[in-house]
Amino acid sequence: MRFAILQFPASNCDQDCVHAARVLGHAARLVWHKDTSLGDADAVIVPGGFSYGDYLRCGAIARFSPVMQAVRAFAEEGGLVLGICNGFQILCESGLLPGALIRNRDLQFHCEQVYLRTANPNTPFTRCIPRDGLMRIPIAHGEGCYFADEATLGRLQAKGQVLWQYVDARGEATERANPNGSLLNIAGIANETFNVAGLMPHPDRASESVLGSTDGRYIFESMVATLEERRRAAA
């Protein structure tokens, strides 16, 4: 599969995402924020970092980049788009995902391993995640507190758009297990059509055993399995 990894000024996980995709045996190409085309990409990853210095609001300026217009068109045609950390913030700012990410509840930057429970295992981003286990994936953010109004939260839950929640080692979504104050312990969500997803934790930083966890692979593998299935269906 061919992954397009976006690159904004002050992206800093772009190379991590390229590396993760290649480690998994796929092609990955960086796409500069001023580019207006995603080329022949099968899927898009909006990586972590501090695009445009996080000025104004995280992701607020990046969303107006030329490449984001191409991402919007790609998503509208059903293309798979995954936003990680700052990428999640950019997708929320752009309206491709509902809600917003605000300052962590305790005002601290959190850089730590968290446990994630997969709330909906039947999506293009979660289908390869083992049903009975938790994922251990690192976070590194200061503004990862997920917020949406009650009506939006209700819709997210009713439609299964909450993909991942912060939990403790026993799988309970407790207050203590919530690193940033996210409503409903939300770590990641999908859009209504389940082809755009975002999460604050970094699967790219959990894709090789030398990094301490390979659980992040399940998310990329889920995307690849979905693309392969689509390809078979089209053949």
Partner 1 sequence: MKARVIITPKKAVLDPQGKTVQEAMAHMGYEGIGAVHVGKYIEVELAPGMDGAVAEARLHDACRKFLSNPVIEDYRLEILA
- What is the binding site for partner 1 (CB under 8 A)? 56-57, 60, 64, 92-93, 99-100, 102-107, 145, 147-149, 181
Smallest distance, partner 1 to C-beta of residue 17, A:
26
Q: For the CB of residue 123, give the shortest distance to partner 1 in the complex, in Å.
A: 23
The residues with which 81 forms a beta bridge, in sequence order, are: 44, 196
The structure tokens 């446990």 sit at 115
Contacts of 110 (CB under 8 A, 6+ apart): 104, 139, 140, 141, 142, 144, 179, 180
* C-beta closer to partner 1: residue 32 or 64: 64
Which residues does residue 198 pair with via DSSP β-bridges, in sequence order? 83, 189
Q: How far is the CB of 28 from partner 1 (least distance, A)?
A: 31
Sheet holding 27-32, edge to edge: 27-32, 2-7, 43-46, 80-84, 196-199, 186-190, 162-167, 110-118, 135-141
Please say which residue, 63 or 117, places its beta carbon nearer to partner 1. Answer: 63
| Minimum distance from residue 104 beta carbon to partner 1 (Å) | 7
- Report CA-CA distances (Å) from 82 to 176, 198, 233: 27, 6, 22
Alpha helices in 144-234 (DSSP H): 150-158, 217-234
Q: Which is nearer to partner 1, 149 or 229 (CB)?
A: 149
Task: Compute the least distance from the CB of residue 181 to partner 1, in Å.
Answer: 6
Cβ proximity to partner 1: between 88 and 220 the closer is 88
Given the complex with partner 1, which of 99 and 203 has the nearer CB atom?
A: 99
